[in-house]
Structure 1
Amino acid sequence: MPIQRATPQANVVVPAHHNFLGWLCDPVNVSGTTTPGAGTLQLARILIPQTIVVNTITLSISIAPTTCTSGQNFVGIYDQSGTRLGVSVDQSTAWATNGQKACAMASATTVPGGLDVFVWVAFLWNGTGSITLHRPTIISNIASIGLTGATMRMGTILTGQTSLPSSITPASITNSTNVPWIGIS
């Protein structure tokens, strides 16, 4: 079943218009940057209305770090319960330069979808200097108004990480609007 597209009258851009299966938000809303701390898991919630297979997670680096620690830079996908569904190959080399990064998953990741189903897409970097990523411009806590840790639209969890854990506790997610823009395909 193909991904649903908005009708032309709706004038709404959806991920399929940019060849994505899902995203944090329309890229036209990306006008800020964020400098996440090394070893801290950054999470973006992405709605999954139907079952998809994810091969790539895309993000954009504005300013690359001085160095990335080999074997400690990943993106991945967690389901609503916090179970990791998939993880990328190490991104240490790719993230050493500026630009759009299509991060290949270690293996194709099937993500079951449905009404109100979402996943957490995780970003983890480690290295020296700092990494600066493009992000949507968001007004502080308004993005997750009325939501709890387990359903926040974006946030952080865990520090001191060198790899993506096999599971996270969604109720422990802390609201953060400094999460990078992420698209999945």
Structure 2
Amino acid sequence: MKSLSEESTQTHSRRYVSRSLLVILRVHLGVILLITVLGKMLRDEPFMVEMLSYLQGYSMRNASIPYQHFLQGVVIPHAALFSYLIMAGELIAGLLLLTGTLTRLAAGISMFLFLNYMLSKGRWFWSPDSEDAAIFLSALVVLLGAAGRVWGVDAYLAKRWPRVPLW
């Protein structure tokens, strides 16, 4: 029969291993976001031009009718603002995920971005070719698993302020 300390050690090690695996997912998601935003920043023409072309063409043919109305009424008229918000969201979320800082907030930003990418393509979670859905679900796992508490700044923040739900 195992002693209480042995059971506690095994439970702790299992929890540590599972969170350690989440670190790989967290860092992978951060790298995806940073590569994506770097591609947008290093283009010859501004990202807004390509975004507008994409939204007015592909999205207007493939997105759902309610999402098309949202794009036409809100996003396209304010394309410059939205192009900067997209790049800022990807950059900030990517850096936060890499460092394990405010991981849940960063994962939430990632989920919001990839949900909109998916909707702009007219794809759903069950679409077989929706890589955005896979990334969205990865971000959800990072958010729910508090992946920043292992090898991240969130580990320090959680010790300092244990009742704050952001880490």
TM-score bracket, normalised by the shorter chain, equals under 0.3
Higher relative contact order (CA 8 A, sep 6+): 1
Q: Using structure 2 for the length normalisation, give the TM-score.
A: 0.24
* Greater helix share, structure number: 2
